[in-house]
Structure 1
Amino acid sequence: MTQTDSPRILGGRYEVGELIGRGGMAEVHLGHDTRLGRTVAIKMLRVDLARDSSFLTRFRREAQSAAGLSHHSIVAVYDSGEETFTETGGATVDVPYIVMEYVDGQTLREILNEEGKLSPDEAARVTMGILSALEYSHDKGIVHRDIKPANVMLTKGGSVKVMDFGIARALADTGATMTSAQAVVGTARYLSPEQAQGETVDARSDLYSAGCVFFELLTGRTPFVGEPVSLVYQHITDPPKPPSFYEPSVPGSMDAVALRSLEKKRDDRYQSAADFRSDLQAARTGAPLSAPTQALLVGAGAGTGATSMMRRTPPAAEAPPPRRRDYTREIDDHDRPTRRHTGLWIVAAAVALLAILGIGYLVMNGSGNDTKTIRVPSVVQQPQASAERTLNQAGFSNVKVNLVKSSDVTKGYVASTDPSGGTETEASTQIVLNVSDGPGLVAVPNVAGKTEQEARDALKQAGFLNVSVGNSAVADTQYEKGQVTSTNPSTGTQTDPSQTVSLNLSSGKVHVPDGIVGMTAGDAQSALSDAHLRYRTQSVPVSDQSQVGKVLSASPNAGSEVDLNSTVDLRIGAYAAPTVTATVTQTPTTEPTTPTQPNSPSPTKSTPSSKPSPTSSSKPSSPSPSPSASGSGDGNAQ
């Protein structure tokens, strides 16, 4: 693999893959966490904006804000950092990135583009998911400030995921307005009036934006349409029409909920995400709405523009123009009292007849107590015991409990009733309490890389109480001994939380890859790295040039089971240094005749011997060389 083919690695562990999304200030890539072996989404600030301090601040704030949020309806942030990139001219720039949970699904914007709108019940369900995420973030002191369809995802399983806390701020930050150097932050079609006016925002600003999204899910359009500047003024001054004005299928209860969320004054709006979500649940189940929302439904009081739009009574018809007096048809005054009295006698006779008929009906059917009707009290979102007690006190003794699966209502609490709250019915009517038995299906969380106890805690938090450990430890993984390698059912599987989840734990052992002997050094090193092993190389001269650069042997041997991250020694063939053979040729010389000295022996020629003496071998330049000391120097080196 060439250098250009190698994937870009961030932080030493995140492989950057294909581009899957692009926004105003960042790009999102598909990524792979090589350490934990999971798919992630990597959001990187655009390089051309990395030198802009305002964009850097916003991007870093996103990482800080979202890092502390852990909720099933919020896209999780796993990691963040900065990577140095070299530009074309050679200059370097630090580009921040955020590693997030990869969500397999579509944004609400994509869904609306394809389908136009959602059914009222589905629109309410999705909005309740958004509000669940906002309720959690608001409790943590974080206001999102940019709720819109493009920032909400729907997984293939139907779960709601809110993402992009890029301009979120701590509620304690008193300077958290929608402007920065008078530049609008947020999206104009979903902007709250206080954001549009540059005032300090709070959690209720998010609820207004969520109301705009709910309106669009119901009708396929936002409450206000126009150019950005026009939209700002409409949010501040114009009362919205009810959703049913554009989509007649929207029930009146959801009209009221939408319009209350869009009140201009924050104090008239929903005060918390929980209140908003509770009214949505009531609208879905037919239960009574909260009093302020109910007032919008019936048009009580003068109220705001939103209130006046909900008045169901038609406006009074204009008075007809006065007719010209026709004296020829005028009735004499003395005739009027007679006609008035005649009418009264007719009415009195009709009342008497009805009274007689009513008494007769009561006589024939006994007393009227058996047909007395009672209003069914609203007990949705109440504990089962409390709901049964409330119904009994209201006069209903025939109460049946029916367990249902619900992801929106806490286990043991009432999800709905039949008949629904507010219905007038006889005391003898059976009231069915649909009590939540918890979520129907729950996604198995990713616990790979955690210890057994950490995995059990994470599964318990997700609702899985039955957890077991596999019979045998798993080898050849990237995880240390005792860490979870996988689960059965696998991560992300939607399953009943009562089902047992089995943990597969790592043995901490891996096998030295087969076939590395004979590989090139680079391929062998890659194979060892893939097997989560380290390597150490030793160059060994070889005479066979075909073995140069290849693995001659490995220790431990290929196929051996060794500890994770242990070291394998590789002997790599290398060019042998050329052998230089020195040949020494000695030429015999004639000894000079030396005059005989008195009392000295006469000179004598040395006798050749089969082996040179040590003296002649070590000192070839001595006056008495051996004429037989000829040949290579290799032998003398013995």
Structure 2
Amino acid sequence: MSDDETTVGDGGGDGAAPDARRVGGRYVIGELLGRGGMAEVRRATDVRLGRTVAVKQLRTDLATDPTFQARFRREAQAAAGLNHPNIVSVYDTGEEMAPDGSHVQPYIVMEYVQGRTLREVLDDGRKLLPERALEITAGVLAALDYSHRAGIIHRDIKPANVMLTPTGDVKVMDFGIARAIADGTSTMTQTSAVVGTAQYLSPEQARGETVDSRSDVYSTGCLLYELLTGRPPFVGDSPFSVAYQHVREVAEPPGTHNEELPAELDAITMKALAKKVEDRYQSAAEMRADIQRHLDGQPVDAPTALVAAVPVVAAAEPETSIFRPALDEGDYEEEKKKRRWPLVVGLLVVLALLVGGIALAVTLLGSEKEVPVPDLSDQTLGQARRTLDEAGLTLGSVDREPSDVAQGLVIDQDPGADELAAEDSDVNVVISAGAETTTVPYLLGDTRDEAAAKLEERELTPNFQEADSTEPAGTVIRTDPNADTPIELGGSVTVVLSLGPVEVPGVVGRTEEQARSILQDADLEVSVDEDTTTPAEPGQVLEQTPGAGSEVARGSTVTITVSRYEEPTPTPTETPTESETPTEVPTETPTETPTDSESPDAGTAPGAGPSPVDGPEPGPSASEQAVPAAAPARSTAPHRRPRRHGRRGPRSDQESAATA
């Protein structure tokens, strides 16, 4: 771990958990996650929100500097305003009195991120695919673009400050803190923080100059270089020698360390590593856009053509000049004639060479070497480029068209496969942009024809089905996928139509079997409740829910209440025998004098009173009449005493025996 490196996430630490203490009144400090020359990070629990966080506190010796405290406070507040999915969130900032009470110690509460830093990934010796390296770099640049627009320069982009979550997301750490540290340093010798990250310094940082957002672009170029090659662009025996190389030397292209890398990646990386800030990408967004163009199979803006090597011509050896004596006037004409012949001969030689050269060129051009064009179908752009290189051809223009073939694969080429093409000539390709998509329209409540028309407009195929519902018959009650869901053109959409409601028939008063048959014929389910208290014919339907005439969905359940009533069984009365015939016992209750209507003969004996209604004729003696009077015929109805008419008269022997 470098001097200022800290880790937010599953870290090592020293394994000794400090005594639990609180920061800010709500953060219970836990085990150490990382320690560096500038700060230490510990896991903590936010007792107010019940979540795990990471608390970063500056080292004690730095926290005593009032100037640094003020800068740290301003930068921490600025970092807290950065809310981006590729940035480790800052939840809270504050100051806490040191345990010894000697000074105030600033702290920052950050998002606790589970995962590994890029430094850990690289140290494991894992080789990243170029596409994955570009995706990670694009995530870093997205975070930098957001922070730059917020006025925050990171100044310390390096693998240790970039985390990968278990889901592969990119998280950039230490926003604001690096700015506060950098503000206190003007040269490399003033703090070990700069020395510790010399491999990712921009030239202007190494020179101690004022930096802007393009410094972060350079550092990101160093990061991309290491992701592509497994090593930083410059290495040396000391941080100072590495910083010197950043200022004075040009890095080798990544392709010199990894021959499988396409030229476009060399171009992107080397443009980010330009020594002059005006030659670099002018923003993180510009570099990210160029990376995205390459991932999409489009030409990049960074120049890919290499400057042709110009041979150095050695200086000509000095020649010795011999001056001929001057001619006299008489010799001049003769000398002039002598000099014409070589000129004529020279012209003829030049003309012959010219004609011969033209003929040779025509011959050579006419016999240009041709090679068969390989089949590039279903290859990625990088694979197609390597295939063409091996065949002695070069990749030409790249176009994109919608296709059912997976996005990014070659779907067409010119010249076609197995055709002959001149060696080193271009092969133009078309790659798939993926299938064209649309969205599922809103169809709820539409009729079958209306739904079919809407789907046809969007080049979708309906798959109609029916289901029970209380909605009107023939109307759409749901779709799969749901409305507004993206779907490929020509895709199928399941459209479910309502079968419509059914009217519940009335079954009250019918038998259970009849009710079941009627309800099942109406596509309804039957549930039975029993009633044992209401006097009714057993098996008769007393109630139903829902009631008759209600509209329900097909297959709904109708509950019927069926009578299970049983007549109560009366208590049987024993029939007395002759020996058990009670003797007449005088009653203590005074008897009333019968009226004329009750007894036509006032002198009638007590045993000759009026006989019961519809009862048997009185017998010859009281003992003979007592037996049938005391044993009335059995009935299934409850036993009731006979109702008497008129005023009650004196009891006769027969009455006493009957009531006994």
TM-score, normalized by length of structure 2? 0.47
Larger Rg: 2
